Amino acid sequence: MSFIPVNEPLLNGNEKKYLNDCIDTGWISSEGPYVTKFEEQFAAKMGRKLGIAVCNGSVAIDAAVLALGIGKGDEVIMPTFTIISCAAAIIRAGATPVLVDAHPLTWNMDINQIENKITKKTRAIMVVHIYGLPVDMDPVLELAKKYNLYIIEDAAEMHGQTYKGKPCGSFGDISTFSFYPNKHITTGEGGMIVTNNELLAEKCRSLRNLCFIPSKRFVHYELGFNFRMTNLQAAVGLAQLERLDEFVVKKRKMGERYTSLLKDINNISIPIGRTSYAENIYWVYGLLLKPETGLDAERAMAKLGQEKIATRPFFWNIHEQPVFNKMGLFKNEKYPIAEDMARMGFYLPSGLALTDEQIDIVAEKFKKILQQ
Ligand X SMILES: Cc1ncc(COP(=O)(O)O)c(C=O)c1O
Nearest CB to ligand X, comparing residues 162 and 369: 162
Phi–psi pair at 358, nearest 5 degrees: -65, -40
Single residue of 7, 30, 56, 162 touching ligand X by CB under 6 A: 56
Single residue of 87, 89, 91, 128 touching ligand X by CB under 6 A: 128
Nearest CB to ligand X, comparing residues 178 and 240: 178
Q: Write down the least CB distance from residue 226 to ligand X, Å.
A: 15
Single residue of 19, 50, 54, 58 touching ligand X by CB under 6 A: 58
Are the C-beta atoms of residues 71 and 93 closer than 8 Å to each other?
Answer: yes
Single residue of 9, 97, 160, 191 touching ligand X by CB under 6 A: 191
- Please identify, among the stretches 25-33, 56-64, 204-212, 350-358, the one whose residues bind ligand X according to the rule CB under 6 A: 56-64
Kindly state whether residue 156 participates in binding ligand X, applying the rule CB under 6 A. yes
Nearest CB to ligand X, comparing residues 86 and 201: 86
Distance in angstroms (rounded) separating the CA atoms of residues 343 and 24: 50
Nearest CB to ligand X, comparing residues 226 and 260: 226
Distance in angstroms (rounded) separating the CA atoms of residues 318 and 330: 8
Kindly state whether residue 187 participates in binding ligand X, applying the rule CB under 6 A. no
Nearest to 32 by CA among 228, 313, 221: 228
Are the C-beta atoms of residues 110 and 259 closer than 8 Å to each other?
Answer: no
Kindly state whether residue 82 participates in binding ligand X, applying the rule CB under 6 A. yes
Kindly state whether residue 271 participates in binding ligand X, applying the rule CB under 6 A. no
Kindly state whether residue 83 participates in binding ligand X, applying the rule CB under 6 A. yes
Kindly state whether residue 173 participates in binding ligand X, applying the rule CB under 6 A. no
Q: Write down the least CB distance from residue 51 to ligand X, Å.
A: 15
Nearest CB to ligand X, comparing residues 135 and 363: 135
Q: Write down the least CB distance from residue 130 to ligand X, Å.
A: 7
Looking only at the bridges linking them, the beta strands covering 285-289 and 345-348 are: antiparallel
Kindly state whether residue 170 participates in binding ligand X, applying the rule CB under 6 A. no
- Secondary structure string (H, E, C) spanning 109-131: ECHHHCHHHCCCCEEEEEEECCC
Q: Write down the least CB distance from residue 55 to ligand X, Å.
A: 8
Q: Which residue is nearest to ligand X (CB)?
A: 57
Q: Write down the least CB distance from residue 56 to ligand X, Å.
A: 4
Are the C-beta atoms of residues 155 and 168 closer than 8 Å to each other?
Answer: yes
Kindly state whether residue 236 participates in binding ligand X, applying the rule CB under 6 A. no
Q: Write down the least CB distance from residue 344 to ligand X, Å.
A: 19
Kindly state whether residue 133 participates in binding ligand X, applying the rule CB under 6 A. no
Distance in angstroms (rounded) separating the CA atoms of residues 129 and 57: 13
- Please identify, among the stretches 50-58, 243-251, 293-301, 318-326, the one whose residues bind ligand X according to the rule CB under 6 A: 50-58
Q: Write down the least CB distance from residue 176 to ligand X, Å.
A: 7
- Please identify, among the stretches 20-28, 52-60, 103-111, 354-362, the one whose residues bind ligand X according to the rule CB under 6 A: 52-60
Looking only at the bridges linking them, the beta strands covering 285-289 and 268-269 are: antiparallel
Site for ligand X, rule CB under 6 A: 56-58, 82-83, 85, 128, 154, 156-157, 178, 180, 191
